[in-house]
A and B are shown apart, each in its own frame.
Chain A
Amino acid sequence: MKSAVIVFPGSNCDRDMDVALKKFGFKNEMVWHNNPEIPKSDLIVLPGGFSYGDYLRCGCIAAKSKIINSVVKFANSGGLVLGICNGFQILTETGLLPGILQQNKYQKFICKNVYVKVNDKKNKYFKNIKKEILELHIAHNEGNYFCSDDELKCLKDNNQIAITYCDKNGKETEDLNPNGALNNIAGIFNKNKNILGMMPHPERMIDKYLSSNDGEFFFENLIENLK
């Protein structure tokens, strides 16, 4: 399986993603933002970080970058595009995913472990995943998901809400919502479910010596589903 991680100036989770993808069997390539073309891939990843310094708005400048046209083209043709953290912000800025990511409710950067519940398994990302409540890590200042009532209805009607913040038993309550996100949303799909944007970082949780290894379930499952 081939993957490509897009590297913007200011990306800083690109190496971590590269390490994770390779560990689970992807043949990964790093693609610099100025490249007009992306090598043929089964998966494109927009990594976390502060693309172009996140000036103006998070992900806003990256959404206008040279390479993003190729990403949009790839996504519209059904290719798998995964955006983590800043990658999720870029995906909402390009319009590939609905809604926006606002500053966290308590106006602070938050770095901690959270539990998320997998809400939909009829997709390439979570089909057959062995664990439905994952302990993952968040590290962001703008993860407070928001969208219009119509968009939310649409997300619900099509089962596009991919993962939601919950407790270790899967219960979703407001006090477990780390950033004020609408309906505890931690990640969403597009209608076709080939595009996934999520705030948590599975790439930071890929062996038992780190604070959790639930990221392994995510990547192992993903590569299996792509085979």
Chain B
Amino acid sequence: MKVNEQIAIDHGLKKEEFNKICDLLKRIPNLTELGIFSAMWNEHCSYKSSSIHLKKLYTKGKKVIQGPGENAGVIDIEDDDAIVFKIESHNHPSFIEPYQGAATGVGGIMRDVFTMGARPIANLNSIHFGSPQHPKTKNLLRGVVKGIGGYGNCMGIPTIGGQTSFDDSYNGNILVNAMTLGLVNKNKIFYSKAAGINKPVIYVGSKTGRDGIHGASMASAIFDDQIEEKKPTVQVGDPFTEKLLLEACLELMAGKSIISIQDMGAAGLTSSSIEMASKGNLGIELNLNKVPCREEKMTPYEIMLSESQERMLIVLENGKEEEAKNIFDKWNLDFAIIGKTTDTKKIELFFDNNKVAEIPIDILAENAPVYDRKWKKTKLPQKIKFKKDDFKKLKITEVLKKILSLPNISSKEWIWQQYDHTVMGDTIQKPGSDSGVVRVHGTNKAIATSVDSSATYCYSHPLTGGKQVVCESWRNLISCGSEPMAITNCLNFGNPEKERNMGEFVECVEGISEASKFLDYPVVSGNVSFYNETKDKGIKPTPAIGGVGLIKDYKKMITMDLKKSKNLILVVGKTEGHLDQSIFAINILNEKKGPPPEINLFNEKNNGKTILKLIREGLVNSAHDVSLGGIVTAISKMAIKGKKGFKLNKLKVLINKFDYYFGEDQGRYIIEIEPNNLKKVEKILKDNSVHYDDVGLVTENDIVIDKEPILHIDDLIKSNKSWLEDYMDK
């Protein structure tokens, strides 16, 4: 088939991009070459719309060993230990085929982590679905949860945290973001940069089939009515093979034979081979007849574009082939020498003794198109003047029960009970907490991690929203007593060719950058997912932030469950009563306008550091950050976890009690302390100029708020737990 402009357009390339390819090559590419260009130049692999903005992210810091640009980011956690971590999206495939889409998302991110020599120690996920009433939502949720569990459980890696939300804007585009953390010795990290000429290029893992061809291109386009036809672009996962691949790779990595290693993820053999050569400033030559294939008569085009899972490409030291082969034989995995590194700085492909492709590497990598797309700034919405008379007929306890049972607030136990969260025997804080926590095996250290996003705030004002997500992540890590270290971000947005969507991206990134710099909480890895749009309707901007924190002595970790009756409850941080964009305003008052709560980075940092100080002094019995639903929702969640009640004092502040209890001002925490520690706690808070309110105390079972009828904690537990169970199983 002779390539022409139309074929290029069918491959997702723009007319100008095709002309650029012809100019750079000084000829028309053949079909295999065109396939390679389409795989490398799509949005998913090339970051062509996002790269100029991503450069603004704060990516450095004392603890950063490896920032963005590798398979995953790496941070130093002392004693030669390092944590490798990254989050990645698998949105488009999960909407087409929820089980396999989600499963291979989890498989892909784990490979990114163990490619660097790290043993995965924890998985998390951030998943977002359409309205619960939408006919597709239930099946998508069921399939995604089964897929995430199916892969992670079989691998034997605990899934220790996550986030689930429902919103109309995801009706036609669900989000599935998977995150993995791994542990590695910092002197034994493996990178993708190839080095040396005439080194053998090794293919290991599963055989190559015809699945997932054009997966990366599919993930770089919007959806239309023909979505069912895209099913063949979804990869099929086999977690058992990946478990073998993990063990085999780690066994090989224990020796000294690997020069570089890269997993075959998006755009499979194409992007892995080109990336290795490009980083090493080398050429690469592959004999495609040597690639282990699952199906007969696969063409070079198919072999290069297949996204079959559980495969790795390795550049070995000369003479180490036999040693490496023995290891992969032991684990029953395919092993093939498929080529070598060269000094030509070209990728050259051979098939049936013919050269079937020849492209200079720099054309594919450095000359990939970069777009400075037009974007529109979002103005800060006007503050809403709430009619306080509307509140008077409401009862706090009734509102509270309603909030606790909302889809976005209710307990997600139905989901995380399907994930093995205790395998590896080091999970000391389970899902359903502020952060999941796993011990660093055999040490006193532990790693806290959480994943957050706030699409409502980001949609209302992207710049504030971007800052807010970073701060919320920071707070979640602080709440369990960990020192926040670094983040990974998964930037889920609509169509970058639309000014509003591009603007949301640019301003969210700006917000993330500003907050992470101020908090010294650098971004070390991430992924961009654009084109989350179906028939002209895009998602709300949803940057998901995965945070990682270090606890030096895991015995000092704090949990959020209320511990003991008569203990005092303090709100740390100032409450102004910001109701716009709050759960209360949106769900109880049905008011969806107004600005999100303001972020004061100075207070955020100061409050967080002071909470850490209190925890380290041993003065805090439980802690939780205040987020959606405000103070009373936060205290209720602590009560539900601890199966205790609470009694709120009469308000000493001048603002309306609904503003106070349901406002979503930022930078706040709830802490439980022993009465005899109050003086010490007050001193530390005052010395650090941190505002606090003494709001109430822990009780055995009763929830006492003003003169309203007393509730039993079981009422709150029921309100919080039953929504998702009833929705899914009844």
Contact = CB atoms under 8 A, between A and B. Distances in A.
Given A111-B418, A211-B430, A13 B729 contact: no
A168 interface: no
B244 A206 contact: no
A12 B156 contact: yes
Contacts of B729: 106
A51 to B, nearest CB: 9
B261 to A, nearest CB: 21
A15 interface: yes
Interface string A41-58: 000000011101111000
Contacts of A109: 146, 149-150, 153, 417-420
Contact of A210 (B153, B418, B428): B428
Nearest to B431: A111
A110 interface: yes
Interface residues of B, number: 32
Nearest to A206: B425
Contacts of A13: 156, 423
A54 B419 CA distance: 17
A201 interface: yes
Contact of A10 (B154, B422, B424, B430): B154
Interface in A25-78: 48-50, 52-55
Interface string A77-121: 000000000000000000000000000001011111000000000
User: Which of A55, A108, A112 has the largest number of chain B CB atoms within 10 A?
Assistant: A108
Contact of B244 (A9, A16, A110, A204): A9
B554 A111 contact: no
* Interface size range on A against B: 20 to 34
A52 B244 CA distance: 10
Contact of A16 (B417, B424, B428): B424
Contact of B243 (A10, A106, A211): A10
Contacts of A15: 424
Contacts of B461: none
Nearest to A51: B240
Interface in A186-227: 201, 203-204, 206, 209-211
B240 A211 contact: no
Contacts of A137: 422
B331 interface: yes
A203 B425 contact: yes
Contacts of B419: 109, 111
Nearest to A16: B425
A139 B156 contact: no
Contacts of B417: 108-112
A16 B156 CA distance: 11
A88 to B, nearest CB: 16
Contacts of B513: none
Contacts of B243: 9-10, 12, 50
A204 B555 contact: no
Interface string B237-248: 011110110000
Contacts of A182: none
Contacts, number: 84
B422 to A, nearest CB: 5
B422 A50 contact: no
B149 A210 contact: no
A212 to B, nearest CB: 10
Interface in B403-422: 416-422
Interface in B202-254: 238-241, 243-244
A109 B417 CA distance: 7
A179 to B, nearest CB: 12
Contacts of A139: 153, 420, 422-423
A16 B422 CA distance: 10
B418 A110 contact: yes
Given A10-B240, A50-B243, A209-B554, A111 B156 contact: no
Nearest to A48: B423
Contacts of B153: 50, 109, 111, 139, 141
B427 interface: yes
B425 A53 contact: no
A201 B424 CA distance: 11
A50 B154 contact: yes
Contacts of B19: none
B422 A201 contact: yes
Interface string A147-183: 0000000000000000000000000000000000000
A19 interface: yes
B155 interface: yes
A55 B243 CA distance: 14
A108 B244 CA distance: 25
Contacts of A9: 240, 243-244, 331-332
A210 B419 CA distance: 17
24 contacts: A9-B240, A9-B244, A10-B240, A10-B244, A12-B154, A12-B243, A13-B423, A48-B423, A49-B156, A50-B153, A54-B240, A55-B240, A106-B729, A108-B146, A108-B417, A109-B417, A111-B419, A112-B417, A137-B422, A201-B422, A204-B422, A209-B428, A209-B554, A210-B425
Q: Shortest 6 CB-CB distances between A and B: which pairs?
A: A12-B156, A53-B240, A16-B425, A139-B420, A50-B154, A109-B418
Interface of A: 9-10, 12-13, 15-16, 19-20, 48-50, 52-55, 106, 108-112, 137, 139, 141, 201, 203-204, 206, 209-211
Interface of B: 146, 149-150, 153-156, 238-241, 243-244, 331-332, 416-425, 427-428, 430, 439, 554-555, 729
Given A50-B240, A52-B240, A110-B417, 12 more contacts: A9-B331, A13-B156, A16-B423, A50-B239, A108-B417, A111-B418, A111-B421, A139-B153, A139-B422, A201-B422, A206-B425, A209-B439
